[in-house]
Amino acid sequence: MNNKDNREALRIIPLGGLEQIGMNITAFEYGDSIIVVDCGFAFPEEEMLGIDFVIPDISYLKENSDRVKGFVITHGHEDHIGAIPFVEKQMRVPIYATKLTMALIDRKLEEHGLAGEIRQRVVKFGQQIILGDFRVEFIKTNHSIQDAAALAIYSPAGTVIHTGDFKVDYTPVYGDAIDLQRFGEIGKKGVLALMCDSTNAERAGFTMSEKTVGAAFDRIFREHENSRLVIATFSSNIDRVQQIITCAHRYGRKVCLDGRSMVNAIGIATELGYIDDYGDTLIEMDDLERYAPEKTVLVTTGSQGESMASLSRMALSIHKKVRIRPGDTIVMSSHPIPGNEKAVSNVINELNELGAEVIFQDTHVSGHACREEIKLIYSLVQPKYAIPVHGERRHLQAQANLAETLGIPSKNIFLLHSGDVLEMTERKAKVVGKVPAGSVLVDGLGVGDVGEVVIRDRQRLARDGIMIVVMTLEAETGRVLAGPDIVSRGFVYVREAEDLMEEAGEVVRSAADGALSADTDWNGIKTRIREELGAYVWKKTKRRPMILPIIMEVE
Amino acid sequence: MNNKDNREALRIIPLGGLEQIGMNITAFEYGDSIIVVDCGFAFPEEEMLGIDFVIPDISYLKENSDRVKGFVITHGHEDHIGAIPFVEKQMRVPIYATKLTMALIDRKLEEHGLAGEIRQRVVKFGQQIILGDFRVEFIKTNHSIQDAAALAIYSPAGTVIHTGDFKVDYTPVYGDAIDLQRFGEIGKKGVLALMCDSTNAERAGFTMSEKTVGAAFDRIFREHENSRLVIATFSSNIDRVQQIITCAHRYGRKVCLDGRSMVNAIGIATELGYIDDYGDTLIEMDDLERYAPEKTVLVTTGSQGESMASLSRMALSIHKKVRIRPGDTIVMSSHPIPGNEKAVSNVINELNELGAEVIFQDTHVSGHACREEIKLIYSLVQPKYAIPVHGERRHLQAQANLAETLGIPSKNIFLLHSGDVLEMTERKAKVVGKVPAGSVLVDGLGVGDVGEVVIRDRQRLARDGIMIVVMTLEAETGRVLAGPDIVSRGFVYVREAEDLMEEAGEVVRSAADGALSADTDWNGIKTRIREELGAYVWKKTKRRPMILPIIMEVE
């Protein structure tokens, strides 16, 4: 990429975030400068058994590390900051973000022993930072976390606006509404490309203001004055928690936070002055019993049915300090994220079983723009090119269709894939190549040591278990000294399948004998055992356990 | 249960269907007579790894087989008929059902080699059958399959109305609307208990008529006259398929069915006269290529994202006969069942990726009654006792709350669990005991041979894989002849974790040596290996693979 023409082009290289929700990370390249917008993780797909989360493959950034000028972070959600420590362990890149976002990043770096190791700079809305050939301006937006920013990325090839995750909230709980004027002003000057949040691009209308949830809380507090209230929501939704605190204060209740991430996030927000507890509304868990139940509100994690979270523990009566009692009122202040519906439903069932009332209407609004808001941003920015971001293919497609109805020619709309190199100038834009991109699986302390082979094995083990065939042979003669024995796990309850296991033993012995007398090598013996035992088991059970022959040799 | 008082009571014993959607089966007992309403299976919960489906534990019925007079089946969905063959293999119970329901049961019995083995009787709406001390009347309802019935169960202790799955459709596609008059007439005479479908008890309003989907299809056909149409829906939703055929006929298209269950179900419906194809609208797959794509409609299975179904194969371009092309229009004529959202979304993403348009608005209505319909049935029947059925706890609870608002005292509302024995007379009703009830897991050909232990092993294998430690000892001396060797699967990609595996080998050798020199017995050796290797692996990886030591002895 060294010819003159290319050096005058802007290159946009998404390294994640286009095939799934989460793992947002996009590189912008001009001349010798690279900047990276966001660096998030994703939750594993259902088939990624045992995986904790997924981070982006950043080999392209590592190869070009001398050119990488900085991370520019839009907001403090895990799908935008979660992979930062993993990347910073490999390459030290300066980080630019707004105040709350940076505080959340700080905690992550600390947890990974990186505190003080990385250059960090807190940026204010309206401020511009210079990163090599780029200038980046942070623009105030609204989202389900405070201090969310859109970015205006100025390059010699033109300006790109990246919305980050956003909604339009004319009446936010804290701080200002989205800076629509600035979007208009920059748009008026000419914008090359708009990269806009697609999450809700299939949803008609406008996302409601966060304040409407406050009204719903008010009604619930009023109608349940004799109940203890337990409200589950996202720990990062600081405005939501603020509204609960405000409502509790109004109705003379104390608020107790529960769940590690809730306590952490609200702790940070309180320190930074983003939460007002009216002096004494927040109390510690240990002080909870000093108040009558109907004078308290518990704010907990677990609104997505996460098995280890606070609300799930309450539902299963294994919470260390809280027991759900008949008469309690539980408010699910969130919608299930796709894939979590079943888990959320299970928690509701358990809470009902304990005699609690569960409320899940009107107590959540999305943090993402619906179709009318997306149209508004397009109309303010009026970009030449549209690059829908943040979402699965269906969401990107929905925004692409929307952009077309707004007059952007379809040849100027790009549905990119991770790794695509989109090269653009004022004259033209085109995908010119591909860089390595993909998912790196994190399992416990292991980063990338679990790949396709291991996952495929786990899937097979999960489905039908394993049968291990062990035998000991004399090295020189090939004589069988012990076995073959069969040990199985996850296949069948052996005590109730004695006949099956006995016959399987015979199949294995005959397979081994056959192979040995045919003077087969050991791989041949293993293959024959695998095939014959596999065929027998399939015939008898229609299952395909993993069959693992192990031969030991004795000198 | 032999004292006089009890013999005059009616006992209702649900054996499934109250803790989950599916596996509906309820016994009714009076004197020496038992009748059983429905006999369905359930799909496995997410954590039941490798399980195909779940059937009810019927040991209570087997113990009392001489008293079981018959199965009375409300309609032909799998969650109401799916377990019949498994039960009929163990006890021969006569089956009573309406025409289409019985035809679907016939096919099941055939598949299990039970054709002609069971007494079966097709019942008409309005007809009453006598089963020991019971009389049962089939009442016409509406649902997402034809020939669905509610049951009036007359016993000397009083009348119970069981709605089955139902909705109120004043303008059904085929046949009559629900027989509301008969509900009113029986109600007027006095009904002891109402067992009413709870599936949609959380949803306000009325479920729309199936005919509204016809109007949506008409619009789609009109607006996509240059596209091939692929419409995915439930194979059992015969009215839906009829509406597609009608629309296709109107717009001069041919209809081709795809997917085994679709071809089967519509085949049966056509034979019985429940489908009208206007003489020549339905064509075979092999004739499809004789028509221009925009003159055809494919009706397929897979609307729930099922991985092996027709639509998923098209989405992944592994369908044997159909390739999705840009310009194709796919209609998802169903809503994702809770738990399937992610899978459905994945299919939509893949179809979008292939350039197809995917439509999922307005092309489905539920087959279950919403709150206003439930209120209507309560008001017609005016039962003394309410026993919400069909649903998870949250749905049952929602109906219970509804029943209370309709004036049924809460002490007369019973939220039962599987196995509960609810005894009722005109004077009182009470849960008096418990019979065995629960889930039997079906995996391949195995029925009940996979239980808690096997599932727990599969879960552990799925999460972190397995490490097998093998060693051969001399029987007499305990001398190590071979090993210990470690073989792992699903734990870590061994080629990239050589150091780890090598160190693990040392840990195992030192554990074995330690145990042997301490003269430990073999169980002791195994325990020590398990503990020390487990601790090492946890420290290094924060994973807990299953550790399986195997010791072979050589004489």
More confident residue, B17 or A4: B17
pLDDT of A1 reads 44
Q: Judge if the upstream peptide bond of residue A484 is cis by omega within 30 degrees of 0.
A: yes
The pLDDT of residue A476 is 82
Q: Which two tokens stand for residue B510?
A: 């030192």
Per residue in B114-144, pLDDT tens?
999 999 999 999 999 999 999 999 999 999 9
A465 contact residues in B (CB cutoff 8 A)? 50, 454, 457-458, 461
- How far is Cα B241 from Cα B229, in angstroms, rounded to an integer? 13
C-alpha to C-alpha distance for A429 and A412, rounded to whole angstroms: 8
Contact present, A242 and A174 (Cβ < 8 Å):
yes
pLDDT at B3 over 60: no
Q: What is the pLDDT of residue B317?
A: 95
Residue A444 in tokens: 């416990």
Question: In whole numbers, what is the pLDDT of chain B averaged over residues?
Answer: 94
Which DSSP symbol is given to B206?
A: -
Calculate mean pLDDT across residues B82-102.
Answer: 96
Which residue in B has a C-alpha nearest to residue A479's C-alpha? Answer: B554
* A133 catalytic residue (yes or no): no
- Specify the pLDDT at position B498: 87
Q: What is the pLDDT of residue B476?
A: 82
Tokens 């059970």 correspond to: A541
Residues of B that are catalytic: 197, 368
* Percentage of chain B exceeding pLDDT 70: 99
Per-residue pLDDT of B51-78, as tens digits, reads 999 999 999 999 999 999 999 999 999 9
Q: How far is CA A343 from CA A332, B222, B366, B397, B456, in A?
A: 13, 40, 22, 18, 19
Considering only CA atoms, which of A324, A372, A320 is closest in space to residue A352? Answer: A324
CB contact, 8 Å: A499 with chain B? no
Measured between CA atoms, the residue of chain A closest to residue B348 is A394
Six-digit token string for B344: 């459905």
Test A492 with B459 for CB contact under 8 angstroms. no
In the stretch 391-430 of chain B, residues with CB closer than 8 A to chain A read 392-394, 397
- The answer to whether residue A368 is catalytic is yes
Give the per-residue pLDDT at A518. 78
- Please give the Cα distance from A299 to A244 (Å, whole number): 8
Cβ distance of B468 and A540 shorter than 8 Å:
no
Tokens found for residue A61: 């950034």
Q: What is the pLDDT of residue A521?
A: 82
Q: Which residues of B touch A451 (CB under 8 A)?
A: 493
CA dihedral B484, B490, B491, B494 (to 10 degrees): 70
Rounded Cα gap, residues B89 and A216, in angstroms: 55
Residue B7 banded pLDDT, cuts 50, 70, 90: confident
Per-residue pLDDT band at B522 (split at 50, 70, 90): confident
What φ, ψ does residue B432 adopt, rounded to 5°?
Answer: -105, -5
- Partners of B338 on chain A (C-beta within 8 Å) are 341-342, 345
Structure confidence at residue A291 (pLDDT): 96
ipTM exceeding cut-off 0.90 for this assembly: no
B470 interfaces chain A, CB cutoff of 8 Å: yes
Contact with chain B for residue A475, Cβ under 8 A = no
| Separation CA B197–CA B194 (nearest Å) | 10
pLDDT the model gives residue B4: 45
B491 vs B464: CA distance, rounded Å: 5
CA distance A430 to chain B (A): 18
Q: Are strands B546-554 and B466-474 parallel, antiparallel or unpaired?
A: parallel
Q: Tell how far CA B258 is from the center of its chain.
A: 22
Q: Which of A197, A258, A328, A420 is catalytic?
A: A197
Q: Yes or no: say if B301 and B235 are a contact pair by the CB < 8 Å rule.
A: yes
Residue A254 pLDDT: 97
A238: part of which helix (H) or strand (E)? helix A238-250
Q: CA nearest B18 in A: which residue?
A: A349
The CA radius of gyration of chain B, in Å to the nearest whole number, is 29
Q: Find tokens 């013999």 and name the residue.
A: B7
Contacts 24+ apart (CB under 8 A), A497-506: A497/B449, A500/A540, A500/A541, A503/A536, A503/A540, A504/A467, A504/A533, A504/A536, A504/A537
> Which residue in the list A75, A80, A224, A368 is annotated as catalytic?
A368
Q: For the residues B279-295, what does the mean pLDDT come to?
A: 94
Buried b (16+ CB within 10 A) or exposed e, B249-271: bebebbbbbbbeebbebbebbbe
At B1, is the pLDDT very low, low, confident or very high (cuts 50, 70, 90)?
A: very low
pLDDT digits (tens, 9 = 90+) for B449-478: 898 999 999 999 999 999 999 999 888 888
User: What are the average pLDDT values for consecutive 10-residue runs of chain A, which has 555 residues?
Assistant: 64 92 95 97 91 95 96 97 96 96 96 94 97 98 96 97 97 94 97 97 95 95 96 94 96 96 94 93 94 96 92 95 95 91 93 95 93 97 97 96 96 97 94 95 90 94 96 86 91 84 91 81 89 94 94 88
One-letter identity of residue B245: I
Contacts of B497 in chain A (CB under 8 A): 449
